[in-house]
Amino acid sequence: MVVLMREMNFSGREACVLRAIDMALGTIGADIVLRTRMEPQEALDILNGMLDMGFVEISNGQQNHVTRWAFNTTMFEVNPAFVHDLKKALIRKSGGKAA
């Protein structure tokens, strides 16, 4: 049985946050804020939404939601199950340029 997944489509801010995360090593919240130039609460809201959708994971694997007090030191990683699809979606979002 083949299950077809809908094409991933991200807002500009979501794509910006995903691009800020190192796909191989992960990135802490403070570095994501520096790379995106977003307010910490805005980046946190986007990341918590992506955690809920399963696109992003926390390196310790024990949390499924991050508070603002833990945000700066929390390591965010892209879910390995979605890496290929996320890269393709980010390339589409950037008009065909590698993300």
Q: What angle do CA 22, 12, 86 make, to 5 degrees?
A: 45
Residues 9-20 pLDDT 10s:
889 999 999 999
Q: Domain ranges for the chain, please list them.
A: 12-93
Please give the CATH number for the structural domain made up of 12-93. Answer: 1.10.10.10
CA 32, distance to chain mean position in Å, is 10
Please give the Cα distance from 93 to 99 (Å, whole number): 9
pLDDT one-digit tens code per residue, 4-63: 456 778 899 999 999 999 988 999 999 999 999 999 999 999 999 999 999 999 987 767
Tell me the chain's radius of gyration from C-alpha atoms: 13
Model confidence at 2: pLDDT above 60: no
Calpha distance 23→69 (Å, rounded): 24
